[in-house]
Structure 1
Amino acid sequence: VAGTVRCQSQRCPPLSCGPDEAPALSPGSCCPRCLPRPASCMAFGDPHYRTFDGRLLHFQGSCGYVLAKDCHGGDFSVHVTNDNRGRRGVAWTLEVAVLLGDVAVRLLQDRAVTVDGRLVALPFLLEPLLYVELQRRTVILHAQPGLQVLWDGQSQVEVSVPGSYRGRMCGLCGNFNGFAQDDLQGPEGLLLPTEAAFGNSWQVQESRAYRSGLELPAVLLEMEWSRRAQEQLLWDLELLTGAGLRLFWPPWAQCCGLRDQAQCAWSQCSQPLGRTGGGPEQ
């Protein structure tokens, strides 16, 4: 807790989950319990979104957005703040805000974490609501009831919710109803015609207020661009193809067709003087 690890033994009773259940841990508990099988949503790249129902979206908005939210019970809300690094038509996830009632957790660059504006050391426990830990190079947030958020400290975030939230979710991650065809629902529950309209409908102004002096200075963001672009390209291709591809994509490569070459990782051309292309302008 607060950066100090204390160990104690606890005997857990045998656990046998049903076919539609999976074991899950509650903050502060060593013994798992059965919860309805979870689904996960991911934001990665510049950025791309894979919804709870498996739909792949491409949206380069550079503001704050609702990523995943319990729109029925209001248990939690996960927001992302995207940054365009001074370039139109491209963005990346700068930070993640997890709102749990009156508690606000921010997952920042380089795996820094704040709780209600205070920088905390990991692991951090706030029983029974919240537990945040660092596993290898990934920050993992566990929250009641069954919410899990994984953050790589750079630009990739994954949100997992138990099956008890089926049909209750909203945001860029979709509604988690088992049908990918209706994932482009805006806050009013209406299907929107384009991914750009859908993404913009979930914009939230207050996400900008989550920022503090802990964010990276602009000069450091610029220095990170080249390295992260190369790393993210390989990572995106691996995620999208599922085949572990390792490809070299030179700066003069042609634009890929997102629709024709279904699952291409980049939605913009790569040019020697920077990335340009036809993404929606914010």
Structure 2
Amino acid sequence: MQKFRQFRRYILVLVGVALAIGIEGLLRRGIAVMLSGLMLGTPSIGGELLAQAQIPSGLDVEQIFEASPTETTDTDTVTPTTRPSDPVVKPPTSCQLTASGDLVQGRSYGDPHFKTLDGKRYSFQAVGEFGLIDSQNNSFKVQARHAAVRESLSLNSAVAMQICGDRVGLYAQDFPDGDRNHVVWVNGKPLEVGSTPVKLPTGGAIALKGNVYVINSPTGEKVTAAKSTVSQQSFFNIAVFVPSSQRNQVQGLLGNFNGDPKDDLQIRGKGVLPERSSYGDVRKALSFAGLNSGPVSLSGAERLYFKQMYKEFGNSWRVSAAESLFDYPAGRTTASFVNMAFPKDYLTLNMLGRQRINAARKTCQQARVPADTLEGCIFDVGFSGMSGFARTTAQVNSYLRTAQELFPGLGIPTVDQAVDRVIDQVRPKVCLPFIGCR
């Protein structure tokens, strides 16, 4: 311990001298080498002593380690590449962690059903590529690709995102190179991901736990994509977690995050779709079905609402070729995945009838589906006839726990950010004779 204290004092003096005489760049490189050695477990100079040290507040060594590649990770795998067909990632204004507060969840799961960041629930079975989240500073974007199932249902077959300066895509169908083992793509190249987090070039990280992929952004957001297969249909249940300090700074199918669920169905660049449920309340459906146990057709008002929802609201959030963050198989583009005539029919719980609602509800309850996702589960099981949706829906509320287990806290600092924090911590504490405090 005495040896460590002497070493620490020696380092502080060196820091002070370096800052005082203007060789901070050299100091920065030295600390970076030491921190990198610590992260990778290599015997860098001072690594053993630093491993025992109490790092200044705000710098969690375990978090840095978890976000860093292991010794066997080929960091070239995530080096950005440029191809003529690659989308251009718009540079973010900042990739620094400035967010704070609790993480708030928005999600797209099942057929798919949405819960916005403000808590608005709705169902949207269109086919194509759509923007879920688009941040004002361009540091964080999430897009989903909906693929058709039968004539009126769809699933999240892929999800793509911008994590600061990196483009990340996950594919359950339509794999860019035709290889179904290449689920994860980063900056146009396939990447093998396991339980050890792999660091992305501009500070993010990605890892896999069970069937759940977790992507961590250095600006504080997290994305989970749970890959599931039901009746040979592979898809993702997607959850997006945004710090509460970022209210009023996002837009998309997951809402504007302003605290008011009534204005979440906002047409891009225009007004707000009137408040109304798009898949119905199961209690109301059962009550209405009590008068007639058979399916109930849509009313004229309901048809008008769905037409507005799909044609005005939904279409406004379709991704253009210039906006797309997805990777594509040879000869295919954004347009290849669009079907403007889908769905054939607009669906609500009222259309199931009492018997099918009760049967689907029993299946969902046996799978222990939480109350806040029960209606979506009944919808999926009832219309598809696939009980597997109950199993996958039951997992939805566990995604935040999985994300926090892999990436604790709001964000994980890069090596450069860690160096900045070390220098910032010691800068005001070092005072030298004839030089003063710097």
Compute the TM-score of the two structures, normalised by the length of structure 1: 0.66
Alpha-carbon distance in 2 for matches of 1:242, 1:41: 13
Matches within 5 A, 1:23-34: 28=67
Residue 107 of structure 1: aligned partner: 170
Q: Distance in 2 between matches of 1:264 and 1:151?
A: 18
CA distance in 2, matches of 1:45, 1:100: 24
Match of 2:379 in 1: 266
- Give the deviation of 1:137 after TM superposition: 2.0
1:118 matched to 2:189? yes
Deviation string, structure 1 residues 80-138 (Cα, Å, up to 9, x no partner): 001003x2211000010002354211012278211011111223212542100112221
Partner of 1:241: 371
Alignment of structure 1 residues 108-147 onto 2, 5 Å? 108-109=171-172, 112-122=183-193, 123-147=197-221
* Percent identity over paired residues: 25
- Equivalent of residue 69 in structure 1, options 113, 129, 134: 134
Match of 2:223 among 130, 145, 149: 149
Alignment-mate amino acid for residue 212 of structure 2: T
Report whether the alignment pairs 1:98 with 2:161: yes
**Conserved 8 A contact 1:111-1:152:** no
Q: Which residue does the alignment assign to 1:168?
A: 249
Determine the structure 1 residue equivalent to 2:124.
59
Query: What SS is found at the alignment partner of 1:191?
Result: coil
From 89, 92, 105, the counterpart of 2:152: 89
The 3 A distance-change label for structure 1 pair 264 and 208 is same
| Gap runs ≥5 in structure 2 | 1-38, 43-50, 69-96, 173-180, 228-234, 275-304, 331-359, 387-438
Report the AA paired with residue 371 of structure 2. T
Q: Give the structure-2-normalised TM-score.
A: 0.44
Number of residue pairs aligned between Structure 1 and Structure 2: 220
Which residue of the partner structure matches residue 212 of structure 1?
329
> Which secondary structure state, in structure 1, belongs to the residue aligned with residue 315 of structure 2?
helix
Q: Separation in 1 of the partners of 2:57 and 2:170?
A: 35
CA distance in 1, matches of 2:371, 2:55: 39
Q: Hey, what does 1:198 align to over in structure 2?
A: 313
Q: Give the greater-gyration-radius structure (CA).
A: 2
SS in 1 for 2:122: strand
What residue is the counterpart of 2:334 in the other structure? none
Q: Name which of structure 1's ranges 94-103 and 199-208 shifts more when overlaid on structure 2.
A: 199-208
Classify the secondary structure of the residue corresponding to 1:84: strand
Contact kept in structure 1, 2:198 and 2:207, CA below 8 Å: yes
Give the C-alpha shift of residue 200 in structure 1.
2.1
The structure with more strand, counted as a fraction of residues: 1
Cα distance in 2 for partners of 1:36, 1:208 equals 28
**Alignment gaps of 5+ in structure 1:** 16-24, 214-229, 246-261, 273-282
User: Shift of the alpha carbon at 1:187?
Assistant: 1.4
Greater helix share, 1 or 2?
2
What is the Cα-based RMSD across aligned positions, in Å? 3.5
Of residues 43, 54, 79, the one that matches 2:108 is 43
Q: Aligned-pair distance for 1:47?
A: 0.4
Q: Does 1:78 align with 2:142?
A: yes
The one-letter amino acid of 2:153's match is V
Distance 1:165 1:60 in 2: 28
